[in-house]
Amino acid sequence: MEIFWFIPTHGDGRYLGTREGARAVSYSYCKQIAQAADELGYSGVLLPTGKSCEDAWVVASSLIPVTERLKFLVAVRPGLISPTLAARMSATLDRFSNGRLLINVVAGGDPVELAGDGLFLSHDDRYALTDEFLEVWRKELEGESVDFAGEHIRIEGGKALYPSIQKPYPPLYFGGSSEAAMEVAAEHVDVYLTWGEPPQQVEEKINRMRKLAAAQGRTLRFGIRLHVIVRPTDEEAWTAANELIQHLDEETIASAQQIFARMDSEGQKRMAQLHAGDRSKLEISPNLWAGIGLVRGGAGTALVGSPDSVAARMKEYAELGIETFILSGYPHLEEAYRTAELLFPKLPLNHRDAGSHPSFISPFGEMIANNEIPGGEKLTAKR
């Protein structure tokens, strides 16, 4: 099991759907979150993409020099960038980060936003374009000179002259719940991602993807995108969940759901169906709460509970085949610490150890009376 965190470049705060408790997502704040994740032992961070976000490639490039081992999951957008340029950018960032780049393939799900970016293809045509994009991108990073004439992409003599560190290329992550998306994932990607649906639905997806990949002579790894609200007790965690949406009114929820309804993303439709905008039916599976999806697009569910409860649910997903958990919480800086401190000790993680300090220095907490390590030996007091 490996745990990623999230850089909230589209906004952060203590409550959803309100300016109350909001905070500016500046470079300094993003750097604090990235450095905390790096120090705490998270394997990587996801950077979101879209018009509501700071540009993921620029953000990743700025955060790589101030972190040491953290990997960055950054989106490529077929249709918004050529596969040849994307291959060159990927190779450069992978080399300059010493192999810390991961690629998140995002076809997009909001026709209105995509029109603003100049892309007017239908849902299935976008995935046909993505298929062509990934064929070119992969071949170029494998060192080939590419001539390609597809329905959507034409390339003559495309080549990435500088290779990536990771071979044959930085790993490809991909999330998509439609049949068209799954077909593309089966042929091209390394890690198939799902949003946080109930375990039975996740199991159905995984089984479907395994069959599709096997038909291509391939195997996949699997990951899940979830929020997390973990507290010392279940009661405290559910109180925190309710506080997160305490400023939401029905008008705000209805407005958000109306925007989601225009989207042609199958994954977004599945997220909306989990709660149908009804805040009285938000626990959709044990410890799985859909309150975030009332107003947040994309990943809309959270695991809520004590460390033992949340760990138990994560292990259930792991038994289905989930290896990578991409987590987040509001606000993201504090919750990065809380999640690592409360949850990591309960999980079978394959992470590197957090930090590089001698065990005497960290972690132990503050000295007791300038003389004792908490739970440890006494020292000679300094004068």
Q: Is 355 a residue whose pLDDT tops 80? A: no
- pLDDT of the residue at 270: 84
Which tens digit of pLDDT belongs to each residue from 296-342? 888 899 999 999 999 999 999 999 999 999 999 999 999 999 999 99
Distance CA 197, CA 319 (A): 15
Q: Within 10 A of 266 (CB to CB), how many other CB atoms are there? A: 17
Q: How many CA atoms lie within 13 A of 125 on its CB side?
A: 9
User: Using alpha carbons only, what angle is made at residue 229 by residues 224 and 234, rounded to the nearest 5 degrees?
Assistant: 120
The pLDDT of residue 361 is 47
The total number of structural domains in the chain stands at 1
Q: What is the pLDDT of residues 188-237, one digit of tens each?
A: 999 999 999 999 999 999 999 999 999 999 999 999 999 999 999 999 99
The verdict on residue 283 lying in a domain is yes
- Say if 173 falls within a structural domain: yes
Q: 3-class secondary structure for 279-310?
A: CCCCEEECCEECHHHHCCCCCCCEEEECHHHH
What average pLDDT score do residues 270-284 get? 79
As beta bridge partners, residue 175 has: 193
Q: What is the CATH number of the domain that holds 242?
A: 3.20.20.30
Residue 239 CA from chain centroid, whole number: 25
Determine, yes or no, domain membership for 11. Answer: yes
Q: Which domain holds residue 79?
A: 2-346
Q: Determine the pLDDT at residue 358.
A: 42
**Mean pLDDT to the nearest integer, 98-110:** 96
pLDDT at 6: 98
Q: What is the C-alpha to C-alpha distance for residues 368 and 204, in angstroms, rounded to an integer?
A: 52
Query: Residue 98: inside a domain, yes or no?
Result: yes
| 8 Å CB contact between 289 and 228 | no
Token code pair at residue 148: 């390609």
pLDDT of residue 264: 81
204: which residues sit within 8 A by CB, 6+ positions away? none
Q: Which residues pair with 372 in a beta bridge?
A: 368, 378
Domain for residue 366, yes or no?
no
Domain assignment present for 370: no
| Domain contains 264 | yes
Spell 219-255 as b/e; 16+ CB within 10 A means b. ebebbbbbbbbbbeebeebbebbeebbebbeeebbee
Q: Is residue 375 part of a domain?
A: no
Contact (Cβ atoms closer than 8 angstroms) between residue 21 and residue 370: no
Q: What is the pLDDT of residues 64-90, one digit of tens each?
A: 999 999 999 999 999 999 999 999 999
Asked if residue 307 has a cis previous peptide bond (ω within 30° of 0), the answer is no
The structure tokens listed for 312 are 């138990």
3-class secondary-structure state, position 222: strand
How far separated are the first and last CA of the chain, in Å rounded? 46
User: What residues pair up with 172 in beta bridges, in sequence order?
Assistant: 103
Any alpha helices (H) in 122-216, and if so which ranges?
123-141, 179-188, 199-215
